[in-house]
Amino acid sequence: MFDQRIVKELVLSSLVADSYSLGAHWIYDEKQLEQIDFDWNELNAPKAIWHKGKVAGDFTHIGDQAFWLYQYLQNKESFDVLEYIEFWKNKMDIYNGYIDGATRETLENINDEKTPTGSSSTDLSVIGRIAPLLLVSKTKEEFLSNVETLVSSTHNSKEAIVASRFFAILLLEVLEGKVIEEAILELKDKFDTKIQSFIYSGVASKTDDTFEAIRGFGPACDISGGFEGVIHLLCKYDNLKDMLVCNARAGGDSSSRAMVSTMIFMAQPDKSLNQIPSSWLNIKATIA
């Protein structure tokens, strides 16, 4: 069984990363990003119309779904995906936040009684939700199995399943004390050429300006672009705040990149919640 305290810190830090990202999330216009009128050192209310009604300290729809998974797994001994999907659907039925394409398609599949329920989405976002599964995984193998089951329940594409396995293994390696960049490079030969190209590009960009690197890879929601962006962030930064601020300034789907990279970053044995500015912990949720 994984250390529950550490797991909860990983979940909390990834949710903080999402909440911090809310302010500039899904803003793509470079001039707007440069001129945005808020303090990059604090949590901010969203500027994008997609998050209308949310305030500073809230989560994006991505963080909301990660928090729901954490809530669902409280006091569970294992991950029952059918029970979870029912829980998730009940949440979505009354949700007033943004409903993304993967969610819409998954809900349609559920209503049409299709099996599997997962959409064909290749969005990166689902990978940022995997940390809570450590709470109910007794072994590495069970964790990897739970990750695939979770991901395929809403994002049933080869791209999402393969990418999630990469980051799940990387998370385990870093929890065991491996240096992030070394672990990334050691894993590359265990994956297909597409993942290898993402890794090469991401690692090679570590000395580049983050804004330019992420804009070059593509700042949108897809795994292609987002994967390289995460690798860039993990290989470039040794300070969580700097990483999250520079990531947010690059715009686009900053939340997905932030959640995945923060989860891995905070798995390092020498990192703690002290890495997070105290004011950023004023999120609208409690991790018991």
Instruction: Tell me the pLDDT tens digit for each residue of 121-147.
Output: 999 999 999 999 999 999 999 999 999
Q: What is the pLDDT of residue 286?
A: 75
Q: What is the pLDDT of residue 26?
A: 98
pTM higher than the cut 0.95: yes
Which uninterrupted H or E stretch holds 84?
A: helix 81-93
Q: What is the pLDDT of residue 84?
A: 98
Q: What is the pLDDT of residue 66?
A: 98
Q: What is the pLDDT of residue 287?
A: 78
Average pLDDT in the chain: 97
pLDDT grade for 285, boundaries at 50, 70 and 90:
confident
Angle at 170 between CA 165 and CA 171, to 5 degrees: 100
Determine what percent of the chain is predicted with pLDDT higher than 90.
97
Q: What is the pLDDT of residue 284?
A: 81
CB < 8 Å & 24+ apart, contacts of 189-194: 191/162, 191/166, 192/162
List for the chain the helix, strand, coil content (%; round to 5).
65, 0, 35
| 253 and 28 Cβ atoms separated by less than 8 Å | no
Q: What is the pLDDT of residue 232?
A: 99
Q: What is the pLDDT of residue 288?
A: 65
pLDDT in tens, 84-109: 999 999 999 999 999 999 999 999 99
pLDDT in tens, 208-259: 999 999 999 999 999 999 999 999 999 999 999 999 999 999 999 999 999 9
Phi, psi (5° rounding) for residue 119? -75, 180
Q: How many residues are present in the chain?
A: 288
**In 3D, which of 72, 69, 32 has the Cα closest to residue 49?**
32
In a 10 Å sphere around its CB, with 0-12 CB exposed, 13-18 middle and 19+ buried, how is residue 181 labelled? middle
| 43 and 52 Cβ atoms separated by less than 8 Å | no
Average pLDDT over residues 49-62: 97
pLDDT in tens, 160-186: 999 999 999 999 999 999 999 999 999
CA 233 to chain centre: 13
How is residue 283 annotated by DSSP? -
Q: What is the pLDDT of residue 1?
A: 74
Residue 159 has which token pair?
């791209």
Q: What is the pLDDT of residue 41?
A: 97
170 vs 24: CA distance, rounded Å: 28
